[in-house]
Chains A and B, each alone.
Chain A
Amino acid sequence: EAQVTQNPRYLITVTGKKLTVTCSQNMNHEYMSWYRQDPGLGLRQIYYSMNVEVTDKGDVPEGYKVSRKEKRNFPLILESPSPNQTSLYFCATRGIPDIISPLHFGNGTRLTVT
């Protein structure tokens, strides 16, 4: 079954304590992306990756890091979380094809930074 798996689903942490949210996919997709969702603002893209070792900034990259050492994994790293990073986070993937393919989303990670 095609899956995008995020962990953890829920995370409560304190300001400044480094954390990593993991994302893994089993569809051999080249493209992976992180989004954050806040009330009234829709889904905003944080970072994306077009393939292994290729990453680029989305619309709201400040305060986040990513890495893409393997095709299947795309972790989101918050080196020093702050309360304004409290949000619902989604990982998404798609193939980069000659044909247009849709995004596949994970089930989300709800992060609270106190």
Chain B
Amino acid sequence: DAKTTQPTSMDCAEGRAANLPCNHSTISGNEYVYWYRQIHSQGPQYIIHGLKNNETNEMASLIITEDRKSSTLILPHATLRDTAVYYCIVSNSNDYKLSFGAGTTVTVRA
């Protein structure tokens, strides 16, 4: 059973903010939201995670709704190198069976 749902694909203009949505309506209280991305066929790369507060790091911002049923990853100034597949997963410290869905294919266009 998929714990998250994401759009299959989206385009973004270079230099603009990219807002990537994720629905996780069945998230439980101790589950974190994680975002990863995969460029070409490289190993997925961790971006950011959060529990209920909004988070920001050097790569992105994570906005989690108050009811925690959805979140948005924001790439503030998308570059061509941000073209990748972005995965949203929910997990707690006891989740050892972790699989990723198909993610969102983000294409940044010049």
Contact = CB atoms under 8 A, between A and B. Distances in A.
B103 to A, nearest CB: 6
Contact of B97 (A59, A99, A107): A59
Interface bracket on B: 20 to 34
Interface string B23-59: 0000000001010100001111110010000000000
Nearest to B51: A100
B15 interface: no
A74 B41 CA distance: 21
21 contacts: A4-B43, A31-B96, A42-B100, A42-B101, A43-B99, A44-B99, A45-B98, A50-B96, A59-B97, A59-B99, A97-B93, A98-B93, A100-B91, A100-B92, A100-B93, A102-B34, A102-B36, A102-B49, A103-B46, A103-B98, A105-B44
Nearest to A6: B43
